[in-house]
Amino acid sequence: MKITKEPFGHFTEYVLTNPETGEALYILPEFGGMIRKMTLQKDGHLHHVIECGNTAEKLLAGMNAYPSAHLFPWGNRVRNGKYNFQNVDYQLAVNEIGLKNAIHGLVSFAPFEVIEETVNEVEAILTLRYSYYGGALGFPFPFVLEISHIFSSDEGLEINYSIKNTGTRDMPMVLGWHPYFKIEGEKADDWQIDFPATHQYSADSQMISVDKIPVNFSGIMDLKGKTLDAVFAMKTSSKIVSKLHSPKKNMSLNVWQEGMKGGFTFTVVYIPASRDCIAIEPMTGNTDAYNSGDGLLVLESGKTFEIACGVYIS
């Protein structure tokens, strides 16, 4: 395994590769720690399962979709950017203008620093850090977020998050990852999905979760002609796995998330209008959890929260 650095537009891209298989993970630390591209191997064939843009111009043109973004300290939306935490009212910057919400947190496009590079025969590890000092409108809670990427041929990608509350009071938080997956040469109508959801949430006019209904998507479901754009509550387990399957290529992309209580117990599944990819997004909280409390985590001063998710091919 090896780690190299290459220019990508104005950014420096770190590339974790397995020279023997051709598998590779491309990360932009200066641009939210985004995973721009990921290539995994099955039965001697390489599959580009994440690809956000072949050029910096194409990447930047698609940023309104938040491809591969890390969502913190809130995921999804906060209604009107307003919330009350421990009897204090706060107003976040509204950055989803049309729906009048605050969306996807503070770190999606923020510059991370590289604090560790490790390689050996079986894996490459790249760890990034973002330090926040409490200056953004409506979020006066300092923290340090570290994201460690472990990339190997046997296990694919594992992402470990570590969040430390460096302030003097409790901090509200929701964590999420916003990847769009694809199976090259195919579209959603070619795919099947299998994920252990227990409930699906409907959304109101601001795309905020309201009612929920029981569902069962465990077992193969064809995506031909189907649309998906919802938050799902997942069946609690130590390792929740959502499977995206290509019958034509006889391969499955497996997205896993640590899903015990207080972990990644929600998943957003979304097929965009282009139908050439699908978002499968691990989340610790529901949309507008800052107001509903549904999945909201509270991290005490000086404490650290750790959680993991990842992707592998089978």
Nearest Cα to Cα of residue 177 among 279, 263, 29: 279
pLDDT, average across residues 99-120: 97
How many Cα atoms are found within 13 Å in the side-chain-facing hemisphere of 266? Answer: 27
What pLDDT does 220 receive? 82
**Residue type at 73 in one-letter notation:** P
Is residue 243's pLDDT more than 80? yes
Average pLDDT over residues 202-211: 95
* Direct distance between the N- and C-terminal alpha carbons of the chain, in angstroms, rounded to an integer: 21
pLDDT band of 217, cuts 50, 70, 90: confident
What is the rounded average pLDDT of the residues 49-53? 91
Residue 98 has pLDDT above 80, yes or no: yes
244-254 average pLDDT score: 95
**224: which residues sit within 8 A by CB, 6+ positions away?**
188, 189, 190
Q: Read off the pLDDT of residues 126-175 as tens digits, 9 standing for 90 and up.
A: 999 999 999 999 999 999 999 999 999 889 999 999 999 999 999 999 99
**What average pLDDT does the chain have?**
95
**∠ Cα 50 51 57 (to 5°):** 155
Contacting residues for 1 by C-beta, under 8 A, at least 6 apart: 16, 17, 18, 19, 119, 120, 121, 122, 123, 124, 151, 152
**Cβ 101 vs Cβ 80: under 8 Å:** yes
Could you give the CA distance from residue 148 to residue 126 in angstroms, rounded to a whole number?
6
CA distance 202 to 229: 9
Q: Which helix (H) or strand (E) holds 126?
A: strand 123-132
Amino acid making up residue 173:
M
pLDDT at position 211 is 93
201's tokens? 């949430």
Whether residue 208 has pLDDT greater than 80: yes
pLDDT surpasses 80 at 227: yes
The residue among 197, 177, 194 whose CA lies nearest residue 307 is: 177
Of all residues in the chain, what percent carry a pLDDT higher than 70? 100
Task: Evaluate whether 207 touches 263 at the Cβ level (below 8 Å).
Answer: no
- The model's pLDDT over 1-48, given as tens digits with 9 standing for 90+, comes to 999 999 999 999 999 999 999 999 999 999 999 999 999 999 999 999
What number is the average pLDDT over the span 99-112?
97
Rounded-to-integer distance, Cα 238 and Cα 22, Å: 31
Quick check: bond before 7 cis, omega within 30? no
Q: What's the CA gap between 190 and 41, in Å, rounded?
A: 20
Euclidean distance between CA atoms 173 and 296, whole angstroms: 6
What is the model's pLDDT at position 279?
96
